[in-house]
Structure 1
Amino acid sequence: MTGIDRLTALCPPPPTAPSTDWPSTEQALGAPLPADYKQIADAYGPGAFCDFLHLCHPHAPTRWVSLTGPLPATIRAQLQHDRDSGTHPVPHDPRHLFVMGVTDNGEYLFWLTEPAGAPGKWTIAANEARGPRWYAYGGGLADFLTAVLSGRETVPLFPDSFLAQGAFFTPTAPAPTPVPVDTAPQPPTGRTVNPSDIRAWARAHGYDVPGRGRIPAVVLEAWEKDGNG
Protein backbone atom coordinates (compact mmCIF):
# COMPACT_ATOMS: atom_id res chain seq x y z
CA MET A 1 0.00 0.00 0.00
CA THR A 2 1.37 3.41 -0.98
CA GLY A 3 1.45 6.55 1.13
CA ILE A 4 -1.53 8.09 -0.66
CA ASP A 5 -3.45 4.80 -0.28
CA ARG A 6 -2.92 4.82 3.47
CA LEU A 7 -3.92 8.47 3.72
CA THR A 8 -7.13 8.16 1.68
CA ALA A 9 -8.12 5.00 3.57
CA LEU A 10 -7.74 6.85 6.86
CA CYS A 11 -9.25 10.16 5.70
CA PRO A 12 -11.51 9.81 2.64
CA PRO A 13 -11.20 12.61 0.06
CA PRO A 14 -14.18 14.40 -1.47
CA PRO A 15 -15.82 12.81 -4.53
CA THR A 16 -14.33 15.38 -6.93
CA ALA A 17 -11.37 17.76 -6.96
CA PRO A 18 -9.98 20.15 -9.58
CA SER A 19 -7.23 18.89 -11.85
CA THR A 20 -3.91 20.69 -12.08
CA ASP A 21 -1.49 20.99 -14.97
CA TRP A 22 1.52 19.86 -12.98
CA PRO A 23 4.15 20.09 -15.75
CA SER A 24 3.25 23.74 -16.33
CA THR A 25 3.12 24.44 -12.59
CA GLU A 26 6.50 22.87 -11.96
CA GLN A 27 8.01 24.64 -14.95
CA ALA A 28 6.72 27.99 -13.68
CA LEU A 29 7.99 27.30 -10.15
CA GLY A 30 11.33 26.24 -11.56
CA ALA A 31 11.42 23.03 -9.53
CA PRO A 32 9.79 19.58 -9.45
CA LEU A 33 7.29 18.86 -6.68
CA PRO A 34 7.02 15.71 -4.55
CA ALA A 35 4.89 13.03 -6.19
CA ASP A 36 2.91 12.40 -3.00
CA TYR A 37 1.98 16.09 -2.75
CA LYS A 38 0.63 16.07 -6.31
CA GLN A 39 -1.35 12.91 -5.55
CA ILE A 40 -2.81 14.50 -2.40
CA ALA A 41 -3.65 17.75 -4.20
CA ASP A 42 -5.34 15.84 -7.02
CA ALA A 43 -7.30 13.62 -4.61
CA TYR A 44 -8.45 16.25 -2.10
CA GLY A 45 -8.29 19.63 -3.82
CA PRO A 46 -8.16 22.78 -1.67
CA GLY A 47 -9.56 22.54 1.84
CA ALA A 48 -8.62 21.63 5.39
CA PHE A 49 -7.84 18.49 7.36
CA CYS A 50 -9.79 18.46 10.64
CA ASP A 51 -10.90 22.05 9.92
CA PHE A 52 -7.40 23.10 10.99
CA LEU A 53 -4.61 22.15 8.59
CA HIS A 54 -4.70 23.65 5.09
CA LEU A 55 -2.33 22.44 2.40
CA CYS A 56 -1.39 25.06 -0.16
CA HIS A 57 -2.93 24.27 -3.54
CA PRO A 58 -2.67 25.86 -7.00
CA HIS A 59 -6.48 26.15 -7.07
CA ALA A 60 -6.78 27.61 -3.56
CA PRO A 61 -9.52 30.25 -3.22
CA THR A 62 -7.02 32.88 -2.04
CA ARG A 63 -3.48 33.45 -3.24
CA TRP A 64 -2.27 33.50 0.37
CA VAL A 65 -3.04 29.77 0.61
CA SER A 66 -1.88 29.05 -2.93
CA LEU A 67 1.19 26.98 -3.67
CA THR A 68 1.96 29.34 -6.53
CA GLY A 69 1.06 32.60 -4.76
CA PRO A 70 3.26 35.01 -2.77
CA LEU A 71 3.23 33.06 0.52
CA PRO A 72 6.33 30.83 0.05
CA ALA A 73 8.62 33.67 -1.02
CA THR A 74 7.22 36.09 1.56
CA ILE A 75 7.69 33.71 4.49
CA ARG A 76 11.14 32.72 3.24
CA ALA A 77 12.16 36.40 3.18
CA GLN A 78 10.81 36.94 6.70
CA LEU A 79 12.69 33.91 8.01
CA GLN A 80 15.88 35.04 6.31
CA HIS A 81 15.52 38.43 7.99
CA ASP A 82 14.93 36.77 11.36
CA ARG A 83 17.97 34.55 10.92
CA ASP A 84 20.26 37.35 9.74
CA SER A 85 19.19 39.75 12.48
CA GLY A 86 19.07 37.13 15.24
CA THR A 87 15.59 38.23 16.29
CA HIS A 88 14.07 34.75 16.02
CA PRO A 89 15.74 31.32 15.89
CA VAL A 90 15.55 29.61 12.51
CA PRO A 91 17.23 26.17 12.63
CA HIS A 92 17.09 25.62 8.86
CA ASP A 93 18.53 27.59 5.97
CA PRO A 94 15.53 29.65 4.77
CA ARG A 95 16.66 29.14 1.17
CA HIS A 96 15.68 25.49 1.61
CA LEU A 97 12.29 26.13 3.22
CA PHE A 98 9.19 26.09 1.00
CA VAL A 99 5.82 26.75 2.63
CA MET A 100 3.20 24.21 1.60
CA GLY A 101 0.71 24.37 4.46
CA VAL A 102 -0.73 26.61 7.16
CA THR A 103 -2.87 25.98 10.22
CA ASP A 104 -5.74 28.03 11.57
CA ASN A 105 -3.48 28.98 14.49
CA GLY A 106 -0.86 30.39 12.13
CA GLU A 107 1.77 27.63 12.11
CA TYR A 108 3.42 26.98 8.75
CA LEU A 109 4.38 23.65 7.26
CA PHE A 110 7.47 23.56 5.07
CA TRP A 111 9.28 21.23 2.77
CA LEU A 112 12.99 21.06 3.51
CA THR A 113 14.00 21.12 -0.14
CA GLU A 114 17.24 19.20 0.15
CA PRO A 115 18.65 17.70 -1.90
CA ALA A 116 17.59 20.14 -4.60
CA GLY A 117 15.99 18.44 -7.58
CA ALA A 118 15.11 15.33 -5.55
CA PRO A 119 11.66 16.08 -4.13
CA GLY A 120 11.09 12.45 -3.21
CA LYS A 121 13.67 12.92 -0.43
CA TRP A 122 12.29 16.18 0.97
CA THR A 123 11.18 16.11 4.60
CA ILE A 124 8.76 18.21 6.65
CA ALA A 125 9.25 21.04 9.13
CA ALA A 126 6.84 23.31 11.00
CA ASN A 127 7.28 26.37 13.16
CA GLU A 128 5.27 27.84 15.99
CA ALA A 129 2.87 30.66 15.19
CA ARG A 130 3.78 32.93 18.11
CA GLY A 131 6.93 31.41 19.48
CA PRO A 132 10.37 30.05 18.70
CA ARG A 133 9.67 26.31 18.58
CA TRP A 134 10.21 24.18 15.47
CA TYR A 135 9.17 20.62 14.66
CA ALA A 136 10.70 18.23 12.12
CA TYR A 137 9.43 15.02 10.53
CA GLY A 138 11.89 12.82 8.69
CA GLY A 139 9.59 11.67 5.90
CA GLY A 140 7.33 12.84 3.11
CA LEU A 141 3.98 14.61 3.21
CA ALA A 142 1.66 11.62 2.75
CA ASP A 143 3.38 9.69 5.54
CA PHE A 144 3.37 12.78 7.75
CA LEU A 145 -0.35 13.38 7.31
CA THR A 146 -1.17 9.71 7.87
CA ALA A 147 0.94 9.57 11.02
CA VAL A 148 -0.52 12.80 12.44
CA LEU A 149 -4.16 12.14 11.50
CA SER A 150 -3.97 8.62 12.95
CA GLY A 151 -2.52 9.92 16.19
CA ARG A 152 0.71 7.96 15.80
CA GLU A 153 2.71 11.18 15.52
CA THR A 154 2.15 14.16 17.78
CA VAL A 155 3.05 17.65 16.62
CA PRO A 156 3.68 19.63 19.83
CA LEU A 157 2.74 22.86 18.03
CA PHE A 158 -0.81 21.64 17.32
CA PRO A 159 -3.60 21.93 19.92
CA ASP A 160 -4.62 18.89 21.97
CA SER A 161 -8.11 19.11 20.42
CA PHE A 162 -6.77 18.69 16.88
CA LEU A 163 -8.11 15.13 16.52
CA ALA A 164 -11.14 15.49 18.81
CA GLN A 165 -13.49 14.61 15.92
CA GLY A 166 -11.22 12.11 14.22
CA ALA A 167 -9.64 12.44 10.79
CA PHE A 168 -11.75 14.24 8.17
CA PHE A 169 -11.30 16.64 5.28
CA THR A 170 -13.48 19.64 4.46
CA PRO A 171 -13.15 20.92 0.88
CA THR A 172 -13.39 24.57 -0.08
CA ALA A 173 -14.62 25.94 -3.38
CA PRO A 174 -11.62 26.01 -5.71
CA ALA A 175 -10.54 28.96 -7.78
CA PRO A 176 -11.55 28.34 -11.42
CA THR A 177 -7.97 28.83 -12.59
CA PRO A 178 -4.68 28.43 -10.71
CA VAL A 179 -3.12 31.49 -9.12
CA PRO A 180 -0.29 32.77 -11.37
CA VAL A 181 3.11 31.79 -10.08
CA ASP A 182 4.54 34.56 -7.89
CA THR A 183 8.03 33.88 -6.55
CA ALA A 184 8.92 37.41 -5.42
CA PRO A 185 8.67 38.33 -1.73
CA GLN A 186 5.48 40.27 -1.16
CA PRO A 187 3.58 42.62 -0.42
CA PRO A 188 2.71 42.17 -4.07
CA THR A 189 3.43 45.67 -5.32
CA GLY A 190 7.11 44.85 -5.10
CA ARG A 191 7.78 48.02 -3.12
CA THR A 192 9.69 47.88 0.15
CA VAL A 193 7.35 47.70 3.13
CA ASN A 194 8.50 47.86 6.72
CA PRO A 195 7.04 44.84 8.60
CA SER A 196 6.48 47.12 11.60
CA ASP A 197 4.01 49.10 9.49
CA ILE A 198 2.03 45.93 8.79
CA ARG A 199 2.12 44.97 12.48
CA ALA A 200 0.86 48.43 13.45
CA TRP A 201 -1.97 48.17 10.93
CA ALA A 202 -2.84 44.68 12.17
CA ARG A 203 -3.04 45.70 15.82
CA ALA A 204 -5.15 48.72 14.93
CA HIS A 205 -7.57 46.35 13.20
CA GLY A 206 -7.78 43.87 16.06
CA TYR A 207 -5.27 41.24 14.94
CA ASP A 208 -3.03 39.55 17.49
CA VAL A 209 0.41 39.59 15.87
CA PRO A 210 3.79 38.71 17.39
CA GLY A 211 6.20 41.54 18.04
CA ARG A 212 8.86 39.78 16.02
CA GLY A 213 9.19 36.89 13.62
CA ARG A 214 7.02 36.21 10.60
CA ILE A 215 3.67 37.85 10.01
CA PRO A 216 0.77 35.36 9.69
CA ALA A 217 -0.65 34.86 6.21
CA VAL A 218 -4.14 35.86 7.29
CA VAL A 219 -2.78 39.25 8.38
CA LEU A 220 -0.90 39.75 5.11
CA GLU A 221 -4.03 38.90 3.16
CA ALA A 222 -6.21 41.27 5.20
CA TRP A 223 -3.58 44.03 4.94
CA GLU A 224 -3.57 43.70 1.17
CA LYS A 225 -7.37 43.61 0.90
CA ASP A 226 -7.54 46.86 2.85
CA GLY A 227 -5.87 48.56 -0.07
CA ASN A 228 -2.29 48.46 1.15
CA GLY A 229 -0.98 46.10 -1.55
Structure 2
Amino acid sequence: MTDLDALVRLCPPPNQAMQINWDGIESTLGMPLPDDYKALADRYGPGGFCHYLTPYHPHGPTEYVNLTGPMPARIRSYLRTDYDRGTYPVPYDPDHLFACGVTGNGEYLFWITDPVTDSSRWRIAVNEARGPRWFTYDGTMTSFLVSVFIGETRVPQFPDSLLELPPTFTPSHPVLVKFRPYVAPVVIDTGAVRAWARENGYDVPARGRVPADILKAWEDAQNR
Protein backbone atom coordinates (compact mmCIF):
# COMPACT_ATOMS: atom_id res chain seq x y z
CA MET A 1 0.00 0.00 0.00
CA THR A 2 1.38 3.39 -1.00
CA ASP A 3 1.44 6.45 1.25
CA LEU A 4 -1.33 7.95 -0.86
CA ASP A 5 -3.45 4.82 -0.42
CA ALA A 6 -2.94 5.10 3.34
CA LEU A 7 -3.91 8.78 3.31
CA VAL A 8 -7.03 8.11 1.23
CA ARG A 9 -8.04 5.39 3.68
CA LEU A 10 -7.54 7.79 6.61
CA CYS A 11 -9.13 10.78 4.90
CA PRO A 12 -11.24 10.05 1.80
CA PRO A 13 -11.04 12.80 -0.87
CA PRO A 14 -14.40 14.51 -1.42
CA ASN A 15 -13.93 15.07 -5.17
CA GLN A 16 -12.90 13.24 -8.30
CA ALA A 17 -9.19 13.25 -9.15
CA MET A 18 -7.83 16.14 -11.22
CA GLN A 19 -5.69 15.97 -14.34
CA ILE A 20 -3.01 18.60 -13.86
CA ASN A 21 -0.58 19.66 -16.59
CA TRP A 22 2.54 18.82 -14.60
CA ASP A 23 4.92 19.44 -17.49
CA GLY A 24 3.71 23.04 -17.63
CA ILE A 25 3.86 23.47 -13.84
CA GLU A 26 7.40 22.10 -13.62
CA SER A 27 8.46 24.26 -16.55
CA THR A 28 7.07 27.33 -14.76
CA LEU A 29 8.89 26.45 -11.53
CA GLY A 30 12.08 25.41 -13.30
CA MET A 31 12.43 22.18 -11.32
CA PRO A 32 10.96 18.68 -11.11
CA LEU A 33 8.36 18.02 -8.42
CA PRO A 34 8.12 14.90 -6.24
CA ASP A 35 5.96 12.15 -7.70
CA ASP A 36 4.14 11.68 -4.39
CA TYR A 37 3.14 15.35 -4.34
CA LYS A 38 1.85 15.27 -7.90
CA ALA A 39 -0.29 12.22 -7.10
CA LEU A 40 -1.51 13.92 -3.89
CA ALA A 41 -2.43 17.15 -5.68
CA ASP A 42 -4.17 15.24 -8.48
CA ARG A 43 -6.18 13.11 -6.06
CA TYR A 44 -7.28 15.77 -3.55
CA GLY A 45 -7.18 19.03 -5.49
CA PRO A 46 -6.73 22.37 -3.70
CA GLY A 47 -7.83 22.52 -0.09
CA GLY A 48 -6.75 21.85 3.49
CA PHE A 49 -6.53 19.01 5.98
CA CYS A 50 -8.14 19.18 9.42
CA HIS A 51 -8.98 22.87 8.90
CA TYR A 52 -5.33 23.51 9.71
CA LEU A 53 -2.80 22.26 7.19
CA THR A 54 -2.99 23.45 3.59
CA PRO A 55 -0.55 22.11 1.00
CA TYR A 56 0.17 24.57 -1.78
CA HIS A 57 -1.51 23.54 -5.02
CA PRO A 58 -1.03 24.57 -8.67
CA HIS A 59 -4.72 25.49 -8.74
CA GLY A 60 -4.82 27.11 -5.31
CA PRO A 61 -7.53 29.80 -5.42
CA THR A 62 -5.44 32.64 -3.95
CA GLU A 63 -1.81 33.69 -4.18
CA TYR A 64 -1.34 32.61 -0.55
CA VAL A 65 -1.85 28.90 -1.30
CA ASN A 66 -0.85 28.65 -4.96
CA LEU A 67 2.30 26.65 -5.68
CA THR A 68 3.22 28.79 -8.68
CA GLY A 69 2.20 32.08 -7.06
CA PRO A 70 4.50 34.59 -5.33
CA MET A 71 4.56 33.06 -1.84
CA PRO A 72 7.48 30.58 -2.23
CA ALA A 73 9.78 33.33 -3.53
CA ARG A 74 8.51 35.83 -0.96
CA ILE A 75 9.06 33.43 1.95
CA ARG A 76 12.50 32.49 0.66
CA SER A 77 13.41 36.19 0.61
CA TYR A 78 12.36 36.52 4.26
CA LEU A 79 14.37 33.44 5.18
CA ARG A 80 17.40 34.76 3.32
CA THR A 81 17.25 37.96 5.37
CA ASP A 82 17.01 35.96 8.62
CA TYR A 83 19.78 33.63 7.49
CA ASP A 84 22.17 36.45 6.50
CA ARG A 85 21.49 38.54 9.60
CA GLY A 86 21.35 35.61 12.03
CA THR A 87 17.90 36.74 13.22
CA TYR A 88 16.67 33.16 13.52
CA PRO A 89 18.75 29.99 13.24
CA VAL A 90 17.51 28.87 9.81
CA PRO A 91 19.04 25.37 9.65
CA TYR A 92 19.25 25.15 5.85
CA ASP A 93 20.44 27.40 3.07
CA PRO A 94 17.26 29.25 2.00
CA ASP A 95 18.15 28.50 -1.62
CA HIS A 96 17.29 24.86 -0.76
CA LEU A 97 13.96 25.68 0.93
CA PHE A 98 10.82 25.84 -1.19
CA ALA A 99 7.58 26.61 0.63
CA CYS A 100 4.96 23.98 -0.19
CA GLY A 101 2.29 24.47 2.48
CA VAL A 102 1.03 26.59 5.35
CA THR A 103 -0.76 26.00 8.66
CA GLY A 104 -3.53 27.86 10.40
CA ASN A 105 -0.99 29.20 12.89
CA GLY A 106 1.29 30.62 10.20
CA GLU A 107 3.96 27.93 10.09
CA TYR A 108 5.23 26.95 6.65
CA LEU A 109 6.02 23.54 5.23
CA PHE A 110 9.09 23.40 3.03
CA TRP A 111 10.66 20.98 0.66
CA ILE A 112 14.38 20.74 1.31
CA THR A 113 15.29 20.75 -2.38
CA ASP A 114 18.69 19.13 -2.08
CA PRO A 115 19.59 17.92 -4.63
CA VAL A 116 17.31 20.12 -6.71
CA THR A 117 17.42 17.76 -9.69
CA ASP A 118 16.33 14.68 -7.70
CA SER A 119 12.99 15.46 -6.05
CA SER A 120 12.64 11.84 -4.86
CA ARG A 121 15.22 12.67 -2.18
CA TRP A 122 13.61 15.87 -0.92
CA ARG A 123 12.62 16.02 2.75
CA ILE A 124 10.09 18.14 4.65
CA ALA A 125 10.88 20.97 7.08
CA VAL A 126 8.46 22.98 9.24
CA ASN A 127 9.35 26.34 10.78
CA GLU A 128 7.84 28.11 13.77
CA ALA A 129 5.62 31.06 12.93
CA ARG A 130 6.84 33.37 15.66
CA GLY A 131 9.92 31.65 17.00
CA PRO A 132 13.21 29.91 16.18
CA ARG A 133 12.17 26.24 16.18
CA TRP A 134 12.40 24.03 13.12
CA PHE A 135 11.29 20.43 12.62
CA THR A 136 12.63 18.12 9.91
CA TYR A 137 10.89 15.01 8.57
CA ASP A 138 12.96 12.55 6.59
CA GLY A 139 10.37 11.62 3.98
CA THR A 140 7.85 12.85 1.42
CA MET A 141 4.94 15.22 1.94
CA THR A 142 2.41 12.41 1.65
CA SER A 143 4.20 10.16 4.13
CA PHE A 144 4.53 13.17 6.43
CA LEU A 145 0.77 13.76 6.38
CA VAL A 146 0.05 10.10 7.08
CA SER A 147 2.60 9.95 9.89
CA VAL A 148 1.20 13.09 11.52
CA PHE A 149 -2.44 12.00 11.21
CA ILE A 150 -1.85 8.56 12.76
CA GLY A 151 0.11 10.12 15.63
CA GLU A 152 3.42 8.55 14.66
CA THR A 153 5.12 11.90 14.07
CA ARG A 154 4.70 14.72 16.57
CA VAL A 155 5.55 18.17 15.25
CA PRO A 156 6.17 20.49 18.24
CA GLN A 157 4.76 23.48 16.37
CA PHE A 158 1.40 21.75 15.72
CA PRO A 159 -1.38 21.99 18.33
CA ASP A 160 -2.28 18.94 20.43
CA SER A 161 -5.91 19.37 19.35
CA LEU A 162 -4.99 18.48 15.76
CA LEU A 163 -5.75 14.79 16.37
CA GLU A 164 -8.82 15.18 18.56
CA LEU A 165 -11.06 14.40 15.58
CA PRO A 166 -10.51 12.08 12.60
CA PRO A 167 -8.63 13.79 9.76
CA THR A 168 -10.74 15.60 7.18
CA PHE A 169 -10.08 17.37 3.90
CA THR A 170 -11.96 20.52 2.92
CA PRO A 171 -11.71 21.53 -0.75
CA SER A 172 -11.09 25.16 -1.59
CA HIS A 173 -13.83 27.21 -3.16
CA PRO A 174 -12.87 28.90 -6.45
CA VAL A 175 -11.93 32.55 -6.11
CA LEU A 176 -11.46 34.96 -8.96
CA VAL A 177 -8.06 36.49 -8.37
CA LYS A 178 -5.25 37.96 -10.42
CA PHE A 179 -1.89 36.65 -9.31
CA ARG A 180 0.93 39.13 -9.09
CA PRO A 181 4.52 37.91 -9.20
CA TYR A 182 6.64 38.76 -6.19
CA VAL A 183 9.03 41.61 -6.90
CA ALA A 184 11.92 42.06 -4.51
CA PRO A 185 12.32 45.62 -3.19
CA VAL A 186 14.84 47.77 -5.03
CA VAL A 187 17.77 48.76 -2.83
CA ILE A 188 19.23 52.15 -3.79
CA ASP A 189 22.93 52.80 -3.18
CA THR A 190 22.67 56.20 -1.52
CA GLY A 191 26.44 56.61 -1.70
CA ALA A 192 26.26 56.43 -5.48
CA VAL A 193 23.34 58.87 -5.46
CA ARG A 194 25.29 61.40 -3.35
CA ALA A 195 28.36 61.10 -5.61
CA TRP A 196 26.21 61.65 -8.72
CA ALA A 197 24.47 64.63 -7.09
CA ARG A 198 27.74 66.36 -6.21
CA GLU A 199 29.11 65.78 -9.73
CA ASN A 200 25.97 67.38 -11.14
CA GLY A 201 25.94 70.44 -8.91
CA TYR A 202 23.37 69.40 -6.31
CA ASP A 203 23.81 70.36 -2.67
CA VAL A 204 23.33 67.00 -0.97
CA PRO A 205 23.85 66.34 2.75
CA ALA A 206 26.65 63.93 3.66
CA ARG A 207 24.37 61.98 6.03
CA GLY A 208 20.71 61.26 6.56
CA ARG A 209 17.96 60.98 4.01
CA VAL A 210 18.65 61.97 0.41
CA PRO A 211 16.12 64.67 -0.57
CA ALA A 212 13.28 63.42 -2.75
CA ASP A 213 13.98 65.86 -5.59
CA ILE A 214 17.58 64.63 -5.86
CA LEU A 215 16.45 60.99 -5.84
CA LYS A 216 13.96 61.80 -8.60
CA ALA A 217 16.65 63.53 -10.67
CA TRP A 218 19.02 60.58 -10.18
CA GLU A 219 16.33 58.06 -11.21
CA ASP A 220 15.48 60.14 -14.28
CA ALA A 221 19.15 60.19 -15.23
CA GLN A 222 19.42 56.39 -14.92
CA ASN A 223 16.41 55.88 -17.19
CA ARG A 224 17.62 58.04 -20.04
User: Fold match, TM over 0.5?
Assistant: yes
Q: CA–CA distance in 1 between the matches of 2:138 and 2:132?
A: 20
1:174, distance to aligned residue in structure 2 (A): 3.8
Query: Is the 2:112–2:123 Cα contact (8 Å) retained in structure 1?
Result: yes
Cα distance between partner residues in 1 of 2:161 and 2:19: 32
Q: Which residue of 1 aligns with 2:25?
A: 25
Judge conservation of contact 1:17–1:42 (CA < 8 Å) in 2: yes
* Count, aligned residues: 187
* 1:58-137 matches, cutoff 5 A: 58-137=58-137
Moved over 3 A (4+): 174-177, 179-182, 190-193
- Does structure 1 conserve the Cα–Cα contact (< 8 Å) formed by 2:62 and 2:179? no
Superposition pairs of residues 1-229 of structure 1, within 5 angstroms: 1-174=1-174, 182=181, 186=182, 188=183, 190-192=184-186
SS in 1 for 2:170: strand
On the 8 A contact 1:29/1:181 being kept in 2, the answer is no
Cα deviations across residues 115-144 of structure 1 (Å, max 9, x unaligned)? Answer: 121111100000000100000000111110
Tell me, which stretches of 5 or more residues in structure 2 are unaligned?
Answer: 188-224
Shift in Å at residue 9 of structure 1?
Answer: 1.1
Deviation at 1:191, TM superposition (A): 4.2
Contact 1:28 1:181 in 2 (8 A): no
TM-score (norm. length: structure 1): 0.77
Cα distance in 2, alignment partners of residues 175 and 30 from structure 1: 26
Question: Is the 1:59–1:174 contact (alpha carbons within 8 Å) kept by the matching residues of 2?
Answer: no
Partner of 2:193: none
Which residue identity lines up with residue 85 of structure 1 in the other structure? Answer: R
Calculate percent identity across the aligned residue pairs.
Answer: 52
Encode CA deviations 1:45-94: one digit per residue, 9 max, x unaligned. Answer: 11110000000001111011100000111111110110101111101110
Structure-2 separation of matches of 1:22 and 1:191: 31
Higher relative contact order (CA 8 A, sep 6+): 1
Tell me by how many angstroms 1:173 deviates. 1.7
Bigger drift between 2-11 and 123-132 goes to 2-11
Residue 13 and residue 107 in structure 1: after superposition, are their counterparts in 2 closer, same or farther (change >3 A)? same
Measured after TM superposition, the shift of residue 192 of structure 1 is 3.7
Cα distance, 1:110–1:39 mapped onto 2, change above 3 Å: same
TM-aligned CA deviation for residue 28 of structure 1: 1.2
Q: Which residue of 2 aligns with 1:206?
A: none
When the two chains are superposed, the root-mean-square deviation of aligned CA atoms in Å is 1.9
Deviation, structure 1 residue 176: 7.8
2:75 is paired with a residue whose SS is helix
Cα distance in 2 for residues equivalent to 1:17 and 1:101: 20
User: What TM-score, normalized to structure 2?
Assistant: 0.78
Determine if contact 2:58/2:66 at 8 Å carries over to the other structure: yes
Q: CA deviation at 1:180?
A: 6.6
